[in-house]
């Protein structure tokens, strides 16, 4: 699944491959727990978390991996050391296998994102 046409996150999760559903559901639960005051929406064909209408976090099931989008450059810079050994593009952590997702790191990134507004890349 590259870009979903699902209208909500429940439908999106129902469309993903069985072997990824548990990990993606866990990502959603972390986002909903840690991102107080954010709105959960579908944008760009993936679950997205917005504060005041601005997307700051998203995740998606891509063809080769699960992606976690961290659109806050200030948070990425603050976590530079912890992100150094991760498969990461400009604003996207890529997890090739669901069981390799570092949920502790994701939680810490979400907590830092939620703590205050910042610079979007």
| pLDDT tens profile 38-52 | 999 999 999 999 999
Apex CA 96: angle with CA 89 and CA 10, to 5°?
A: 95
pLDDT by residue (tens digit) across 7-21? Answer: 999 999 999 999 999
Q: What is the pLDDT of residue 90?
A: 86
pLDDT by residue (tens digit) across 74-102? Answer: 999 999 999 999 999 888 999 999 999 99
Domain borders along the chain are: 9-115
Specify which residues 88 forms β-bridges with.
Answer: 93
Cα dihedral 46/49/55/59 (nearest 10)? -40
pTM for this entry = 0.94
pLDDT by residue (tens digit) across 106-120? Answer: 999 999 999 999 989
Angstrom distance (rounded) from CA 56 to CA 103: 18
User: Do 60 and 72 contact (CB within 8 A), yes or no?
Assistant: no
Q: Which CATH architecture has domain 9-115?
A: Alpha-Beta Complex (3.90)
């Amino acid at each position: 699944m590259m870009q979903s046409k699902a209208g909500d996150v429940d439908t999106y999760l129902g469309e993903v491959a069985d072997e990824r559903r548990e990990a993606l559901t866990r990502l959603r639960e972390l986002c909903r727990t840690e991102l107080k005051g954010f709105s959960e929406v579908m944008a760009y064909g993936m679950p997205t978390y917005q504060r005041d209408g601005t997307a700051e976090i998203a995740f998606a099931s891509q063809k080769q991996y699960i992606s976690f989008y961290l659109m806050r450059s200030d948070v990425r810079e603050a976590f530079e050391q912890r992100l150094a050994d991760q498969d990461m593009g400009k604003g996207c952590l890529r997890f090739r296998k669901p069981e390799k997702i570092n949920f502790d790191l994701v939680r810490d990134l979400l907590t830092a994102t939620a703590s205050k507004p910042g610079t979007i890349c």
